Structure 1
Amino acid sequence: MSEFEYVAVLVSLVLGLGIANILTGIGRMINRRSEFSLDLVHIMWSLALFVVLVLNWWVFFQLNTFTEWSFEFFLVVVIWAVFFYLMSVVLYPIEKNTVQDYGLIFEKNRPWFLGLFIASNLSDIALTALRGQLLNPPFYLPFVLHFVVLGIIGLLTNSRRYHTFLASYVFGISLTWAFWVRLLLGN
């Protein structure tokens, strides 16, 4: 078993648990639709996070050719995956929720969710830097940092319009990256 395969098992479990938690939450939302008030921001973040998790799981596979594994690199990879899982748990708390309004759930957990969103982007930067590819391609760093800035703005505002925009934007950018930009870049 290669070092990548060893790490990939753990990362796959963590990201897979995040995907499973989102799907379970969406299933609960559908099954209990008469009991819970739906919320556009929450739904958009659910879609965005699902796509981001699947996309990052796919992109993680690019590390299969990486040969300079160290404990520090392993740790950053694991932390990176954990941030995504925790985002899914903050979006869809695992315990039985007495709150029956997804808008209230999101607002209550918004600082944690956006803090984890920012942390996931910063850990992606750390992961890329440890691979020695921080400026390859040259637009990578500004691209990821703009998500950090948008997340910080989200922490500072209660505007439902902004949060709908942010979730929709992350969803749209993720789909664009998954289906168009990757093809243009040749991977």
Structure 2
Amino acid sequence: MDFFNHIKTVISIILGLSIGCLLNGTVKFIQHPGRTKPYWVHLLWVFYLFLLMIHFWWWEYNLRDVRMWTFTEYIFIIMYIILYFTSCQLLYPADVKDYGDNYKNYFFSRKKWLFLLLIVVFLIDIFDTLIKGHEYLEKLMPVYAIRMISHISLLGIFAFLKTKRSSLYGAMVLFFILFELYFIFSKFYND
């Protein structure tokens, strides 16, 4: 087995567990509708993270072009994927009893952790993109730069924002979802 297949396998295992966490957490609302109260902003973040991971999985196929691998790069990619897994676990904890069985209460108590973790994901994404080469980075511009600057800035602001106005957090995550869809379609269906 070549090295890319090895990395692809590890990526698939961890991302599979991450996506499974999101799917299991969401299906519980259908299985046990009276047990916990869902929150629409939380569910949009779940969808956004799902979309990010699916995009990441597709995007990482470009690692096949990396000819020389170091152990540092290998560990870096694994740690990057573990951040996605951690984000999924943060969105769907084992239970929300400490928060009145209410995902709105849980979301606002953990939003700083989630948003700061996503900032780290985006910062690491920059390095991950550089591993794929300067030519690859150039193909993504300028949309990639706009994505990184806007997302990191908004996440930083909203991580420390004191308000609990659902409309603000909903607008931000809708912007993220629409931007991600635009980014995907502009880069993969415009060639």
Q: Does 1:132 align with 2:133?
A: yes
Specify whether residues 150 and 58 from structure 1 end up closer, same or farther in structure 2 by C-alpha distance, changes over 3 A only.
same
> Residue in 2 aligned with 1:108?
109
Separation in structure 1 between the aligned mates of residue 2 and residue 50 of structure 2, nearest angstrom: 28
Task: Give the CA deviation at 1:43.
Answer: 1.0
Task: Give the CA deviation at 1:152.
Answer: 0.3
Task: Give the CA deviation at 1:180.
Answer: 4.4
Task: Give the CA deviation at 1:135.
Answer: 4.4
- The letter of the residue matching 2:33 is R
Structure 1: stretches of 5+ with no match in the other structure: none
> Residue in 1 aligned with 2:174?
168
> Residue in 2 aligned with 1:141?
145
| Residue pair 1:154, 1:162 contacting (<8 A) in 2 also | no
| Residue pair 2:29, 2:36 contacting (<8 A) in 1 also | yes
Separation in structure 2 between the aligned mates of residue 62 and residue 183 of structure 1, nearest angstrom: 16
Specify whether residues 135 and 9 from structure 1 end up closer, same or farther in structure 2 by C-alpha distance, changes over 3 A only.
closer
Specify whether residues 31 and 158 from structure 1 end up closer, same or farther in structure 2 by C-alpha distance, changes over 3 A only.
farther
Separation in structure 2 between the aligned mates of residue 145 and residue 10 of structure 1, nearest angstrom: 29
| Residue pair 2:147, 2:179 contacting (<8 A) in 1 also | no
> Residue in 1 aligned with 2:63?
63
**TM-score, length-scaled by structure 2:** 0.88
Secondary structure in structure 1 of the residue aligned to 2:138: coil
> Residue in 2 aligned with 1:33?
33
Alpha-carbon RMSD across the aligned residues, in angstroms, is: 1.7
Secondary structure in structure 1 of the residue aligned to 2:189: helix
Cα displacement string for residues 66-88 of structure 1 (whole angstroms, at most 9, x for unaligned residues): 21211221122112111111110
Structure 2: stretches of 5+ with no match in the other structure: none
- The letter of the residue matching 1:173 is F
Separation in structure 2 between the aligned mates of residue 35 and residue 143 of structure 1, nearest angstrom: 37
**TM-score, length-scaled by structure 1:** 0.90
